[in-house]
Amino acid sequence: MQIHRLIIHRNERLLGHFDSDVPWSREAVQDIAARLPEADGYRLELLVASEQQRVLESGPNGVRLLYSTPLFTPTSMPESS
């Protein structure tokens, strides 16, 4: 499953980001992007993660996952319908 991250700027000031990992995450990002027009000073960046980096621990009881971090790459914004 892919994770989509929408980074939101307004008037070149970072406001934050929105992460979505639901099966319809691309549509969720598209819905939010449609509400933040460039004409109002918004600039959006879309990243997608389909892989992750994992840190494992190996011990006498076996291997366990300590944590995982999504690996994001830039992608183009979806077209509005």
* Tens-digit pLDDT profile for residues 11-33: 999 999 999 999 999 999 999 99
pLDDT at 3: 94
Residue range 34-78, pLDDT digits in tens: 999 999 999 999 999 989 999 999 999 999 999 999 999 999 887
In angstroms, rounded to a whole number, what is the distance separating the alpha carbons of residues 80 and 27? 9
Any domain includes 80: no
Report if residue 20 sits inside a domain: yes
CA atoms of 53 and 19, how far apart (whole Å): 17
Rounded Cα–Cα distance for residues 37 and 34 (Å): 7
Domain total for the chain?
1
Residue 55 near residue 67, CB atoms below 8 Å:
yes
- pTM here is 0.81
- How far apart, in whole angstroms, are the C-alpha atoms of residue 6 and residue 67? 22
Residue 57: its pLDDT value, please? 95
| 50 inside domain | yes
76 torsion bin: left (phi>0), alpha (psi -120 to 50), beta (else): beta
Which is more confidently placed, 43 or 80?
43
Residue 81 lies in a domain: no
